[in-house]
Copies of this chain bind each other. A is one copy, B any other.
Amino acid sequence: MSSHIQRKVAVVGASGYSGEELLRLLGSHPSVQVVAVTSRQHPGRQIGEVLPQFRGHPTLGKSVFIDSQVDQIVASGAEFVFLALPHGLAAEFAEPLLEAGLRVLDLSADFRLRDAAIFEEFYGVKHPSPHLLTKAVYGLPEVRRSEIADARLVACPGCYPTSILLPLIPLLRKKLIEPGSIVANSLSGVSGAGRKASIDLLFAECNESVRAYGLPGHRHLSEIEQELSLAAGTALRINFAPHLIPINRGILTTIHAAPKDDLTLELLTKTFQEAYAQEPFIRLLGPDGFPDVKYVARTNFIDIAWRLDPRTGRVILLSAEDNLVKGAAGQAIQNFNLLAQLPETTGLL
A239/B309 contact (C-beta < 8 A), A56-B283, A246-B246 known: yes
Nearest Cβ on chain B to A121's Cβ, whole angstroms: 11
* A194 nearest CB neighbor, chain B only: B204
**Contact between A53 and B299 (Cβ–Cβ < 8 Å)?**
yes
Size of chain A's interface in residues, with CB distance under 8 A?
A: 75
**Contact between B314 and A239 (Cβ–Cβ < 8 Å)?**
yes
List the B side residues contacting A206 at CB < 8 Å.
Answer: 203
Candidates B201, B204, B241, B307; contact of A248 at CB < 8 Å:
B204
**Quick one: CB contact mask for A166-203 with B, threshold 8 Å, 1 for yes?**
00000000000000100101010111000111110111
A165 within 8 A of B: no
Number of copies of this protein chain within its complex: 4
**Contact between A292 and B209 (Cβ–Cβ < 8 Å)?**
yes
A104 within 8 A of B: no
Nearest Cβ on chain B to A306's Cβ, whole angstroms: 10
**Contact between A202 and B195 (Cβ–Cβ < 8 Å)?**
yes
A209 to B292 Cα, complex, angstroms: 6
List the B side residues contacting A320 at CB < 8 Å.
Answer: 210-211
The stretch of A111-119, A134-142, A250-258 that contacts the partner chain:
A250-258
The stretch of A95-103, A125-133, A156-164, A213-221 that contacts the partner chain:
A213-221
A349 within 8 A of B: yes
**Contact between B247 and A246 (Cβ–Cβ < 8 Å)?**
yes
A256/B283 contact (C-beta < 8 A), A191-B204, A245-B245 known: no
* A17 nearest CB neighbor, chain B only: B204
Q: Which of A300-320 contact B (CB under 8 A)?
A: 301, 303, 307, 309-312, 314, 316, 318, 320
**Quick one: CB contact mask for A53-72 with B, threshold 8 Å, 1 for yes?**
10111100000000000000
List the B side residues contacting A7 at CB < 8 Å.
Answer: none
A294 within 8 A of B: yes
**Quick one: CB contact mask for A254-290 with B, threshold 8 Å, 1 for yes?**
1010000000000000000000000011010000001
A6 within 8 A of B: no
**Contact between B211 and A249 (Cβ–Cβ < 8 Å)?**
no
A79 to B221 Cα, complex, angstroms: 55
A residues with a Cβ closer than 8 A to B are: 17, 52-53, 55-58, 180, 183, 185, 187, 189-191, 195-199, 201-213, 215-217, 221, 237-239, 241, 243, 245-250, 252, 254, 256, 280-281, 283, 290-299, 301, 303, 307, 309-312, 314, 316, 318, 320, 349
Subset of 15 A-B contacts with CB under 8 Å: A52-B292, A185-B254, A187-B243, A190-B203, A201-B202, A202-B202, A203-B207, A208-B249, A209-B247, A210-B247, A210-B293, A211-B252, A211-B293, A215-B290, A245-B245
Additional 16 contacts, C-beta under 8 A, given A203-B203, A211-B293, A243-B254: A52-B303, A53-B294, A56-B281, A183-B183, A190-B203, A191-B204, A203-B206, A204-B248, A208-B297, A210-B245, A212-B252, A212-B290, A215-B309, A215-B318, A239-B314, A241-B254
